[in-house]
Structure 1
Amino acid sequence: MFLELIGTVFGGIAMAGVVMIVNRLTGGRLPRWAAPVAAGLTMIAVTISMEYSWYGRTTANLPKGVVVANTVQKQSFYQPWTYLSPYVDRFVAVDELSLKKNADLPGQRMIDLYFFGRWAPLKKVPVAYDCTDARLATLIDGVDFGAQGEISNADWRQVAADDPVLMAVCEVS
């Protein structure tokens, strides 16, 4: 976040410098407000560009075995251009390399999910999915495992059968 702020400020300063050079080369024919307006518009453009490119930059740096399962696009009244073209503000990724299966419970899988947000810290959440009954349980304190690996004391929640994260987890072999 800090580096993006610095980049935005330096982009504005650079554009103001370009306008000042052009003004000097044209013999001072540009209005006095041209440099600050150009700097401000450049800073807005850089900010918008960084918002729209965040998802691509982040997913390009995901390690092998971590795949995006679901995205959430953002639209906001204070960013009216997002109604024309929303951008990805957050997403859920599945760590396929963390997959654990139990031969005694073939429909259940344990896996790590990563929750990415544009201005939020990364969250890693271990979960269990029941692919046959379309349900999910987060593996937090208080969850126990039985002798055959069955999960007890878990808060199972139903999810839609077409939930993209459920489908991504259950398709991992």
Structure 2
Amino acid sequence: MLWHLIAAVVSGLAAAGIGLFLRTLSGKRLPKWIVPVCAGLGMLGYQINAEYRWFEHKQQQLPESAVVISKETGSAVWRPWTFLFPMVEAFSVVDRDSIHRRGREETPVTELIVYHFERHYADVVTPTPYLINCDTRELVPLDDASGKPAMNELRTLRKSAPLYIAACRPPQKV
């Protein structure tokens, strides 16, 4: 957070310097207000860039075995450009290396953790453990306190669901 503030101030100062240089280059024919306007545009440009690059930055920090299974985009009134170009505000990931196959041969069950990342002033990561039956595509979350399946939240995934593909199909060799 502190580094973003410092980067925004530096971007504003750099853009103000460009505005001052342009004013000097024009023989002071450009109005004085061009300098603070350039500073504001520089800071705003940095902030927009940081918000749109958040998803790519977080993906680069994940291990190679991590698979993004969903993205949530959003728009906001105070960011009018997001109505044209929605930005990623949250995403979910499965780490293939942390998937554990267990159960008997007649009912193969896979245990996995889905990590849900949300963009806030400080990023929020919520890990949720699940059990999935790869034969029937049934998915059930595990209770945080007891570690037992919450059967009232049982659901069946589609064959094309990214979570099902990531958990039950072997990774493709490249």
TM-score category by the smaller chain? Answer: 0.7 to 0.9
Task: List runs of 5+ in structure 1 lacking aligned partners.
Answer: 145-151
1:125 is matched with which residue? 128
2:166 is matched with which residue? 168
Counterpart-to-counterpart distance in 2, 1:128 and 1:103: 11
TM-score by length of structure 1 reads: 0.83
Counterpart-to-counterpart distance in 2, 1:48 and 1:153: 41
Answer whether contact 2:73 2:88 (CA < 8 A) is retained.
yes
1:141 is matched with which residue? 145
RMSD between superposed Cα atoms in Å: 2.2
- Residue by residue, what CA displacement relative to the aligned partner does 1:9-31 show, whole Å, maximum 9, x if unpaired? 21011111221133233332221
Note the C-alpha offset of 1:63. Answer: 1.0
Counterpart-to-counterpart distance in 1, 2:98 and 2:67: 12
Note the C-alpha offset of 1:110. Answer: 0.5
Note the C-alpha offset of 1:42. Answer: 1.6
Aligned identity (percent) is 28
1:100 is matched with which residue? 100
Aligned-partner SS, 2:39 = helix
1:58 is matched with which residue? 58
Aligned-partner SS, 2:77 = coil
Answer whether contact 2:103 2:109 (CA < 8 A) is retained.
no
* Distance change >3 Å, CA 107–CA 139, structure 1 → 2: farther
Are positions 1:17 and 2:17 aligned together? yes
Answer whether contact 2:75 2:87 (CA < 8 A) is retained.
yes
**Structure holding more strand per residue:** 1
Task: List runs of 5+ in structure 2 lacking aligned partners.
Answer: none
Answer whether contact 1:94 1:114 (CA < 8 A) is retained.
yes
1:116 is matched with which residue? 117
2:155 is matched with which residue? 158
